[in-house]
Amino acid sequence: MSFVLGRAAREAGHDLVAYDTVGSTNAEAMALGREGRAPVWVAARAQTDGRGRRGRTWSTERGNLAASFATVTAANPALAATLGFVAGLALEQALRETAASLSPRAARPELKWPNDVIVDGQKLAGILLEADQFSDGRLAVVVGVGVNVVSAPEGLPYPATSLAARGDRTTAEELFQALADAFVDWLDAWEEGAGLPAIRKAWMARAAGLGSQVTIDMGTRVLKGRFESLDESGRLVLRAPTGVATAVSAGDVYFGNAASVRVEG
């Protein structure tokens, strides 16, 4: 089976470049975006030089999904960054539509701030945004999605799982087609950033750990408190034990037992 776009993605004018193996789908998508070929998806069965958040490496074993969507927007960088929420909502929808173990009567995929999808507390997918500015001020934005379809990486500082480990036979190609179509609806709802309030509301309805105690590792410092909300720009609002609220724009969030200590990685 090959990667194909669904009807909604085709009708929206989205393009697709598919590979068997590629260094980085994000890098390929960014190159296409700079060349004026956006909106376009780049998908691959294996990725050898993928990137994760905060400069981490992210390899994609054969059979997992690596896909990146490139678009061009006039939104400012802070607003463009909320495309990560668009991708999370689209991926959550696609997973529910294709994976039997994530049906309404089974486990529920949740969105972990800022850009992960988890199931039963285990990471199933990650999202990475990258942007480059044109001379006219517009941004080429790439939204990269990596999903553990057949296997999960080992040696991570947090639990991870795959669809196969949960008993699913969903393929990367099936998931991609559903993702590309779902992305159309959520991108339309985003409306170049004007629809962020609705995106924020939908994201919070699917949020992992909302209202619970969390630890946020920001690299240079660690914050602890209750995950209270997202503010109007999509920053995580953390309520400290002292009652002081802090809006956090980036960091690694840890729940449960991990919330009582700093976790490196």
DSSP-assigned letter for residue 151: -
Highest mean pLDDT among 24-38, 101-115, 149-163, 211-225: 24-38
Q: What is the pLDDT of residues 142-167, one digit of tens each?
A: 999 999 999 998 877 778 999 999 99
HSE-up of residue 36 (Cα within 13 Å, Cβ side): 0
pLDDT given for residue 221 in this prediction: 87
Calculate mean pLDDT across residues 199-215.
Answer: 96
pLDDT given for residue 264 in this prediction: 38
Buried b (16+ CB within 10 A) or exposed e, 212-232: ebbbbbeeeeebbbbbebbee
pLDDT given for residue 57 in this prediction: 54
Chain length of the chain: 265
pLDDT given for residue 104 in this prediction: 67
Q: Which of 59-68, 134-143, 236-245 has the lowest mean pLDDT?
A: 59-68
- Read off the pTM: 0.91
Percent of the chain with pLDDT strictly greater than 90: 80
pLDDT given for residue 92 in this prediction: 97
**CB of 55 within 8 A of CB of 42?**
no
pLDDT given for residue 259 in this prediction: 45
Q: How confident is the model at residue 261 (pLDDT cuts 50, 70, 90)?
A: very low
Calculate mean pLDDT across residues 112-121.
Answer: 94
- Assess whether pLDDT exceeds 60 at residue 258: no
What is the spatial distance between Cα 63 and Cα 48, in angstroms, rounded to a whole number?
A: 13
Q: What is the pLDDT of residues 19-65, one digit of tens each?
A: 999 999 999 999 999 999 999 999 998 888 766 554 555 556 899 99
What is the spatial distance between Cα 110 and Cα 11, in angstroms, rounded to a whole number?
A: 29
3-class secondary-structure state, position 30: helix
- Assess whether pLDDT exceeds 80 at residue 132: yes
* Domains, in order of start, for the chain: 7-205 (3.30.930.10), 213-260 (2.30.30.100)
What is the spatial distance between Cα 235 and Cα 257, in angstroms, rounded to a whole number?
A: 23
3-class secondary-structure state, position 89: helix
**CB of 236 within 8 A of CB of 113?**
yes
Rg value, the chain, Cα: 18
Q: What is the pLDDT of residues 55-93, one digit of tens each?
A: 555 556 899 999 999 999 999 999 999 999 999 999 999
Q: Closest by alpha carbon to 144, among 249, 60, 232, 251?
A: 60
**CB of 227 within 8 A of CB of 256?**
no
Chain CA centroid to CA 229, Å:
19
What is the spatial distance between Cα 259 and Cα 248, in angstroms, rounded to a whole number?
A: 16
Q: Which of 11-15, 44-48, 144-148, 202-206 has the lowest mean pLDDT?
A: 44-48
